[in-house]
Structure 1
Amino acid sequence: MKLHHAIFLAMLAGGIAGALTQEQSTLLGIPLLAGYDLIGSLFINALKMVVVPLIVTAIISGMVGVGQGKSVGRMGIKTLALYMTTTLVAVLIGLLMVNLFAPGIIDGTPARDLLGLSANTHEALASVKDRGAGDFTDILRQMLPPNLIAAAANGQMLGLIVFSLLFGYFLRVEKGQAPQTLRELIEGIYLVVMRITMLIIRFTPVGVFALIAATVTRTGLDAIIPLAWFFATVLVALFTHAFVFMPLMIRLVARRSPLRHVQAMTPALLTAFSSASSAATLPLTMECVQKRAGVSPRTSSFVLPLGATVNMDGTALYECVAAMFIAQAYGMDLSLTTQFMIVLTAVLTSIGVASIPAASLVAITVILGAIGLPLEAIGLILVTDRVLDMCRTAVNIWGDSVVSVLLARSEGEEQVLSLPVSQMEQRAQSAR
């Protein structure tokens, strides 16, 4: 059975089990609610266990592979600048929408009780409030911590991410046998940690069942309302980024027709939506960009594989909305500093964990840890994750293709989107 089918069935089974269970119910003398909590806690702890090694090795491995075999010169700098810009805008759009819709606030009250979240969070909320009351210098200090291990142990992942980016960059440019051996070692560790992560992800249906059953046991079906608002908020934010901001970039910067580019990318977008995998869609994305949009192989072969590693607009947007939704549900007073922390962490984590399975799940744990919130609500947002994963994967692919068009036009490629898609395909076939 495919994982998303298993998760869907686990959601249904968890809802039914929770509806049939009362807080004092037992099975063979074992309290059912305590059993649900134990299984859910083990699942969340397993995710937390792999966060540090996964982020460090993924970011270093990704930085080492940036433009591998090519010189990261003018084109590389322009590409990275465009990717970082579009990702930042995506996160800011998500931040705007989640503040506008406030899905974590129902009838003027934080949705903590509706979602069955623990009420014993006074210490966590107090620490978050104290952190938010500070100024931006606290964020800068976290970016360069004096003790990386202590920072990681305390959940301050921002410094670890910055260090990994620097380490990966300089490891990439170093020559000789020793750096090559270190690169291979880190790649090997990354592959092993990925295997461990995949093992944990295989148990996602079990964790989802337990978390949903525990929530429904405590609250009934009241959790549906805030989750529906969260779902709608993410969809509106993704639509705004993909079909308002990106088309404006094509029209104003590339001076080409956004509608023509949508037509060119339709096969890749449909494949990305159905498969929910950027990596699996990459070959079709390259074919659509080259043969249907008219971007040269020189540009697309550099921009698109790099985008599959470091550019995940939809993923970063989703991380931001999810973290803000959970913070709102806890009744947290979100200061400008705390929101800036969420934006910065979402942008940076999207670079390191974008290409791994269940990337958003791992990244959200990092963001919540960065602002000091518990992780117990992560299991709840899995209820809506499959459909949203399909949507944000399509947005990721769309963002990569738009950046390839913008870069191609900046490099003087006049043939980009200059003809209808059918004529582009005929020209490509004739050239072959």
Structure 2
Amino acid sequence: MKLHWQILIAILLAILVGIMTVPESAIYEIYDFIGTMFLNALKMVIVPLIMSSIISSMAGLNHGDSLGRLGLKTMAYYTMTSLLAILIGLTLVNITLPGIIDGQPAGDLLNLNTNSAEVASTLSQVEGRGSKDLVEIFVRMIPTNIVEAASEGQMLGLIFFSLLFGFFMGRVEGRRGEVLRDFWKGVAKTMVLITQFVLKFAPLGIFALIAKTVSATGFNAFEPMLVFLFTVIISLALHAFIVLPLLLKFVGRVSPIKQIVAMSPAMLMAFSTASSSATLPLTMQCIQKRAGVSRKTASFVLPLGATVNMDGTALYECVAAMFIAQAYGLELGFITQFTIVLVALLTSIGVAGIPAASLVAITVILGAIGLPLEAIGLLLVTDRILDMLRTSVNVFSDACGTVIIAKSEGESWVLNQDSEVVEAVGD
């Protein structure tokens, strides 16, 4: 049975069982135990997964003309679109306020632990950040001890180190360089397999977490979750159908409609698999055979995009972090929101292109701004449908970037205005 059907069944069963479960009973404690084990497994893979993904991706930038004009254009496009996506999500979540219901934080409705002294102390530190903390963000990006940073989960420092290590590792020539690159590619592949193994238990973890919440709060948790769901969907739609088409029209000078038609098979596959990596072969085929991009441009821009360009994922991470902060009753100032934007941008680089991998990255954002990780369980309720949608946006953004960069490189036949699609193209 496909994972998304397993998760759907788990959600429905959890609702039914949760209604019949008495809070603080022995069964309730079992829910708590299973849910905690699943969340711990997600947290376990964070550091090695993100570090290995970033290092292996950065090393790939150092081959051939990757660091030339084509590489600079690609990275500039990916950074710009990811930032635009995050800002769209941040703006909309500040308007809809999904974590606020009837003027009150939705923490109690969502069964969040808002009363303990430890949580209260943590939240007060998050809310009280000022201009000095902005400087501290950049100071923490350069860790004095990389091992200590890894043990304490200081992901900003780890990401910065991984970017540097991967970049200069790619410049090591000869056999030593090949051994290093093969090693980190192997680590990245291994961590993807471990993450996929952990996610096989997602239906069980989701069942336990939802059953626990329904048992404690009834159906009250569904209102804020629905607002959150539609906030993310509307934000993704704005980015996919307004921002990216505008870039195609005014920067790439191509028809957005023809681009959507050309890439529709890949976007549908991305929606069904929720994996940009699994969709990559079809994306390559569509961008070359249907959009008319040369193999040279497509073979560089698309694989890199499938690894580091995650517009939909970055947007989702930002909205999710803000939703949880609102549910805890925090009024986040500019400094904390800037932190969320920065960390969402950086962690989107290291998110593996597999289903539900962004849940791992969200733990990084919550940890960076000091929010408790228990709220991650809430996101599992809506994650599958949002995962499918954001993956489609990720793939479409990669394709748009490839077309725009190809046009800037003088490939005038791309999305030829005289034909719907280009059936074949030379190298």
Q: Pick closer, same or farther for the CA change 1:292–1:188 going to 2, 3 Å.
A: closer
Aligned-partner Cα distance in 1 for 2:336–2:62 = 34
Q: Equivalences for 1:61-140 in 2 at 5 Å?
A: 61-66=56-61, 68=63, 71-119=66-114, 120=116, 121-132=119-130, 134-140=132-138
Match of 1:28 in 2: none
Match of 1:335 in 2: 333
Aligned-partner Cα distance in 2 for 1:324–1:198 = 27
Q: Is contact 2:57-2:304 (8 Å) kept?
A: no
Match of 2:248 in 1: 250
Q: Equivalences for 1:232-243 in 2 at 5 Å?
A: 232-243=230-241
- How far does the alpha carbon of each residue in 1:102-152 deviate from its partner, in whole angstroms, 9 at most, with x for none? 111111111101111112220210221234563421111111122223333
Q: Give, in angstroms, the shift of residue 70 of structure 1.
A: 5.0
Match of 2:172 in 1: 174
Query: Which among 150, 153, 166 is matched to residue 152 of structure 1?
Result: 150
Is structure 2 residue 317 aligned with structure 1 residue 319?
A: yes
Is structure 2 residue 405 aligned with structure 1 residue 407?
A: yes
Match of 2:19 in 1: 19
- How far does the alpha carbon of each residue in 1:326-350 deviate from its partner, in whole angstroms, 9 at most, with x for none? 1111111211111111111111111
Q: Is contact 1:315-1:354 (8 Å) kept?
A: no
Letter in 2 for 1:6: Q
Letter in 1 for 2:311: D
- How far does the alpha carbon of each residue in 1:385-423 deviate from its partner, in whole angstroms, 9 at most, with x for none? 111111111111110111111111111222122235446
Match of 1:363 in 2: 361
- How far does the alpha carbon of each residue in 1:335-390 deviate from its partner, in whole angstroms, 9 at most, with x for none? 11111111111111111124244221100000000011111111111111111111
Aligned-partner Cα distance in 1 for 2:77–2:121 = 40
Aligned-partner Cα distance in 1 for 2:421–2:365 = 46
Letter in 1 for 2:69: R
- How far does the alpha carbon of each residue in 1:274-295 deviate from its partner, in whole angstroms, 9 at most, with x for none? 2222122222222222222222
- How far does the alpha carbon of each residue in 1:138-167 deviate from its partner, in whole angstroms, 9 at most, with x for none? 111111122223333333210110100100
Match of 1:387 in 2: 385
Q: Is contact 2:258-2:421 (8 Å) kept?
A: no
Question: Cα RMSD between the aligned structures?
Answer: 1.8
Q: Which consecutive unaligned segments of at least 5 residues does structure 2 have?
A: none
Match of 1:50 in 2: 45
Q: Pick closer, same or farther for the CA change 1:186–1:288 going to 2, 3 Å.
A: closer
Paired residue secondary structure (2:422): helix
- How far does the alpha carbon of each residue in 1:164-203 deviate from its partner, in whole angstroms, 9 at most, with x for none? 0100010011113333323333333333333322221111
Aligned-partner Cα distance in 1 for 2:64–2:152 = 38
Aligned-partner Cα distance in 1 for 2:353–2:388 = 14
Paired residue secondary structure (1:138): helix
Q: Give, in angstroms, the shift of residue 69 of structure 1.
A: 5.5
How many equivalent pairs are there? 424
TM-score, normalised to structure 1's length? Answer: 0.94
Aligned-partner Cα distance in 1 for 2:421–2:154 = 53
Letter in 1 for 2:190: V
Q: Is contact 2:258-2:420 (8 Å) kept?
A: no
Q: Pick closer, same or farther for the CA change 1:289–1:23 going to 2, 3 Å.
A: same
Aligned-partner Cα distance in 2 for 1:264–1:324 = 35
Q: Pick closer, same or farther for the CA change 1:68–1:356 going to 2, 3 Å.
A: farther
Paired residue secondary structure (2:144): coil
Aligned-partner Cα distance in 1 for 2:97–2:301 = 36
Aligned-partner Cα distance in 1 for 2:297–2:358 = 29
Aligned-partner Cα distance in 2 for 1:336–1:376 = 24
Q: Pick closer, same or farther for the CA change 1:89–1:168 going to 2, 3 Å.
A: same
Aligned-partner Cα distance in 2 for 1:154–1:417 = 49
Q: Give, in angstroms, the shift of residue 257 of structure 1.
A: 1.7
Q: Pick closer, same or farther for the CA change 1:67–1:293 going to 2, 3 Å.
A: farther
Match of 1:228 in 2: 226
TM-score, normalised to structure 2's length? Answer: 0.95
* Range with bigger deviation, 174-183 or 155-164: 174-183
Q: Give, in angstroms, the shift of residue 76 of structure 1.
A: 0.7
Match of 2:7 in 1: 7
Q: Is contact 1:292-1:421 (8 Å) kept?
A: no
Paired residue secondary structure (2:23): coil
Query: Which among 184, 187, 203 is matched to residue 185 of structure 2?
Result: 187
Q: Pick closer, same or farther for the CA change 1:409–1:202 going to 2, 3 Å.
A: same
Paired residue secondary structure (2:254): coil
